[in-house]
Amino acid sequence: MPLERGISSLDNLYIALDFPTGKEAKHFLIENELTGASVKVGMELFYREGPQIIDTLKERGHKVFLDLKLHDIPNTVHQAMKNLAKLEVDIVNVHAFGGSEMIAGAREGLLAGSSQGVSPYLIAVTILTSFDEKSFQEDLKLEEGISNYALHLAEMSKTSGADGVVCSVQEAEPVKNLCGNDFLTVTPGIRLASDDPGDQKRVASPGFARRNGSDILVVGRPITQAKNPKLAYEQFIREWTTNE
């Protein structure tokens, strides 16, 4: 089935299925009665299971964000996206560091490979939330600062054909101001107030994320490793809805 376009066709919370096997991912969703919840499939799971895991999730009513962060020469990304488009997931992504030509190639590949010309949303990853200012400057030798550089990457991504970016919550509102309200902001690093931030350096609550311009939250361990994942999922939805 062709995908509907428009922000309203996407859910606001995607559970990151960071499991080593499809069996474990499916068991988690079934055991916790999360049928139909939107999910993110990353490299670990997709490289193990391949396209079959996407088909299985879609058959169970899950919207899918395929998080492979493609980053290669433009022609390679173009051809890869032609293949990924046939999976008819809802969201795919690339690394914005690949540059404008690569992002444009990704968009062209998605359109070429999609049924009836309706393609998944193309999201560009700006700066990984595992970076803080110190590691950003020391590791990448970029002295402009995370926020300013993320805005540069967001503007470049929009100009190149991306539908939005993955960014930190702190950057979501400035991205909206620069790129417009229709430009999607996908924000990982979301935690409830009582949660351990883990290896994420730039985190925020669901309510703060919504107030600060986030369209879509990506949540992994605070749900998948919670004592009661279903209750944790519902709490995230509740905090998002009430802006807490």
Kindly report the pTM of this predicted structure.
0.89
10 Å Cβ neighbour count for 181?
11
User: CB burial class (10 A; 0-12, 13-18, 19+) of residue 11?
Assistant: middle
Average pLDDT over residues 215-233: 95
| 61-98: pLDDT as tens digits | 999 999 999 999 999 999 999 999 999 999 999 999 99
Please check the confidence at residue 6 and state whether its pLDDT lies above 50.
Answer: no
Known active-site residue 69: yes
> Rounded to an integer, what distance in angstroms lies between the CA atom of residue 5 and that of residue 7?
7
The three state secondary structure string of 61-94 is: CCCEEEEEEECCCHHHHHHHHHHHHCCCCCEEEE
Whichever domain contains 193, its CATH number is 3.20.20.70
10 Å Cβ neighbour count for 147?
18
| Residue 182 located in a structural domain | yes
| Residue 196 located in a structural domain | yes
Average pLDDT over residues 125-143: 77
Please check the confidence at residue 199 and state whether its pLDDT lies above 60.
Answer: no
pLDDT computed for residue 1 by the predictor: 29
| Residue 1 located in a structural domain | no
Computed over every residue of the chain, the mean pLDDT equals 89
Q: What percent of the chain has pLDDT over 90?
A: 70
| Residue 236 located in a structural domain | yes
| Residue 2 located in a structural domain | no
Rg (CA), the chain: 17
What's the total number of domains in the chain? 1
pLDDT computed for residue 195 by the predictor: 61
pLDDT computed for residue 37 by the predictor: 96
With H, G, I as helix, E, B as strand and everything else as coil, classify residue 99: coil
Average pLDDT over residues 212-240: 94
- To which residue do tokens 């030509």 refer? 101
Who has greater pLDDT, 40 or 116?
40
Band (135; pLDDT cuts 50, 70, 90): confident
In the DSSP assignment, the letter for residue 198 is: T
> Rounded to an integer, what distance in angstroms lies between the CA atom of residue 86 and that of residue 228?
35
Residue 108 belongs to domain spanning: 7-242
Contacts of residue 30, defined as CB under 8 A and 6 or more positions apart, other chains included, come to none
pLDDT computed for residue 194 by the predictor: 62
From 40, 63, 69, 158, active-site residue: 69
| 12-37: pLDDT as tens digits | 999 999 999 999 999 999 999 998 99
Q: Are 43 and 67 in contact (CB under 8 A)?
A: yes
Q: Tell me the residue type at 201.
A: K
Q: Tell me the residue type at 70.
A: L
| Residue 34 located in a structural domain | yes
| 31-56: pLDDT as tens digits | 999 989 999 999 999 999 999 999 99
Please check the confidence at residue 202 and state whether its pLDDT lies above 60.
Answer: no
Band (140; pLDDT cuts 50, 70, 90): confident
Nearest to 193 by CA among 214, 173, 207: 207
